Structure 1
Amino acid sequence: MSKKELLPAQSEELLNTLKARFEKHMNRHKGLEWAKVKARLEANPGKLWVLDDMETTGGEPDVVGFDDNTKEYIFYDCSAESPKGRRSLCFDHEALESRKEHKPADSATNMAANMGIELLTEENYRMLQTLGEFDLKTSSWVQTPPEIRKLGGALFCDRRFNHVFLYHNGAESYYGARGFRGSLRV
């Protein structure tokens, strides 16, 4: 068994959790069948490992689409608020290294890379918000264009007043209510 593969009992528990979430939120994946998603997951144990990491950090991953071109199922973190196990992070490693004191434990981009997921883009985030109401009390870092990052900034989003907002902040900033949401293709 490889380092990044769940034990059979862990896989079964995660698949049961994902199935229950899939069935509870059918509006997130109209036209998709759990049996096909499950078969794809079982054929990709490394992806199950990643989904387990998303789950244990509070992301509540769920299927939000299928890419007809690549034939991949797309999972996003669908927790009501930014995942608890991924908050109080600055944006990226450069920002983390620039802090002289009161450094957070990690950065959003480091943690996402270590988990094997991608930070949502602004477009991904806005699409997620069409499936429900997320980040009513928290906010989530999103991918930032290089021209903004080069100037020291980073972008984050949230939902307030029944509207999705995109904001900017210094990349080195971090807050207890700001984390990040990720995506995974299987």
Structure 2
Amino acid sequence: MNKKSEISSTIELSSEQSEKLLKILQARFEKNLNLHPGMEWAQVQARLEEAGRDKLWSLSEMERTGGEPDVTGHDPKTGEYIFTDCSAESPKGRRSVCYDREALESRKEHKPQNSAVDMAADMGIELLTEEQYRKLQELGNFDRKTSSWVKTPARIRELGGAIFCDRRYDTVFVYHNGAESYYAARGFRGSLRV
């Protein structure tokens, strides 16, 4: 059983916490209509209310760690809304992490407290892919001072590397690093389908 399963089976948002979260998400949705043109909050809220406690809990974790989740897409095939971390910079509560568990265990000293892949799994969200990161950047200007780990292709990871992205000079850059590296200005962004 992974950590998320253990946590979500013992932690559930109270009615008050759920209501507060929904108000935060609605206010953000209405403030940032450019992120989701043609979508209506009533439909998103109905979907959230159907989704169950795990999805709301995951959204609350995205919020708690500074991700400022907002709707950035809708899948017409499944009816799912896609929430993505839309904080201006990489979420503060998810920085100073290496890429994954293997990288964390490979460090002999000065280990970070966690890894991006493990944190995302614990929260019940997915790390953004490079393609998703680039799509997010079409909606605004993100990570102008920070950077974010993104899902790394297996062939790069097998060689010990991992990739991250940021935005500088009005351009999205993709870089590489050893997966075990971590920096105070690098975190990760995630998404959740509801």
TM-score normalised by structure 2 residue count: 0.94
Matching residue's letter, 2:23: N
Structure 1, unmatched stretches of 5+, are none
Q: Hey, what's the Cα distance between the residues in 1 that align with 2:13 and 2:46?
A: 16
The one of 54, 62, 66 equivalent to 2:70 is 62
Aligned partner of 2:140 in structure 1 is 132
How many residues were matched structurally?
Answer: 186
Query: Is the CA contact (8 Å cut-off) linking 1:112 and 1:118 kept in structure 2?
Result: yes
Matching residue's letter, 1:110: D
Higher helix share: 2
Aligned partner of 2:22 in structure 1 is 15
Q: How does 1:69-84 map to 2 (within 5 A)?
A: 69-84=77-92
4+ aligned runs moved over 4 Å, structure 1: none
Structure 2, unmatched stretches of 5+, are 1-8
RMSD over aligned CA atoms reads 1.1
Q: CA deviation at 1:4?
A: 4.1
Query: Is the CA contact (8 Å cut-off) linking 1:82 and 1:180 kept in structure 2?
Result: yes
Aligned partner of 2:47 in structure 1 is 40
Aligned partner of 1:123 in structure 2 is 131
| 1:111 to 2:146 alignment | no
Q: Hey, what's the Cα distance between the residues in 2 that align with 1:176 and 1:71?
A: 37
TM-score normalised by structure 1 residue count: 0.98
| 1:28 to 2:35 alignment | yes
Deviations 1:53-81 (A, max 9, x none): 00000000000010112211000000000
Aligned partner of 2:187 in structure 1 is 179
Structure 1 residues 44-53 or 96-105, which shifts more? Answer: 44-53
